[in-house]
Amino acid sequence: MQETVNDPLREYCSTNTTGTLCLLESAQLAGVKKFIFLSSIKVNGESTTDKPFSELDVPCTEDPYGLSKWEAEQGIAELCKSSATDYTIVRLPLVYGYGVKANFAKLIKLVNSKIPLPMGAINNKRSLLYIGNLTAALQAIIQNPNSKNKTYLLSDNNDVSTPDLVRAIAVAYGIKPKLIAVPVFLFKLLGIVTRKQKAISRLLGSLQVDSSKIRHDLNWQPPYTVAAGLAEMVSFERENSCKN
């Protein structure tokens, strides 16, 4: 999200698009029967308002990363038209678990600092995906022929608001959450002053995913709720901390 190169689209496409399609062509030559591509919900867009994203939505990419993933999806479908290799595309929201990085890791650090967080008045809904649910879904895709040449949106099917996520993280770490209800308009004003409107929009906005298609097609349910996923993440973290 903080590109420093002159042509971000070219850089993303070199890996996400060209690299993926080269890998698919090699897989086809090797006789691979199934190709699974982990795409991004950014193909659908950056936020939702009146309804969650679904597979029926017209793609609406807003950045080079999302566009590179969308172009890869189209290339995969084209290459598999006259091939013995079938494909499944899975568009992912934010994936969390042991070793998670970026903004999710920053939020965990803030919660563990035990300082009051000014997020209590935020009223949004975000779809997340625990790594355990992702791996379980991939296993179902591999085993179930109904996944052939399909595109799926995936999530925990347990959407949470930003304050709810803070509370869930605090519970997982065994600490008391500290939230202050700062008016949302102050966040927006801060975004304007600091020129970080996009970052503030991600904090305040909703991004919901309708994952009913994969649950229906493959008779699959995510084995972890957000609370259970966070609890296992913390357990792995503490276990590895003891080993080190």
Which of 16, 17, 19, 149 shows the shortest CA–CA distance to 84? Answer: 149
Which of 66, 63, 81 shows the shortest CA–CA distance to 24? Answer: 81
What are the two backbone dihedrals, phi and then psi, of residue 239, each rounded to the nearest 5 degrees? Answer: -65, -45
3-state secondary structure at position 209: strand
3-state secondary structure at position 94: strand
Integer angstrom CA distances of residue 236 from 29, 114, 146: 39, 21, 33
Residues annotated catalytic, as ranges: 65
Q: What angle do CA 86, 90, 92 make, to 5 degrees?
A: 165
Which of 129, 155, 110 shows the shortest CA–CA distance to 229? Answer: 129
Residue partners of 112: CB distance under 8 A and separation at least 6: 173, 175
CB atoms within 10 A of CB 204: 18
Integer angstrom CA distances of residue 162 from 97, 117, 121, 231: 17, 11, 9, 18
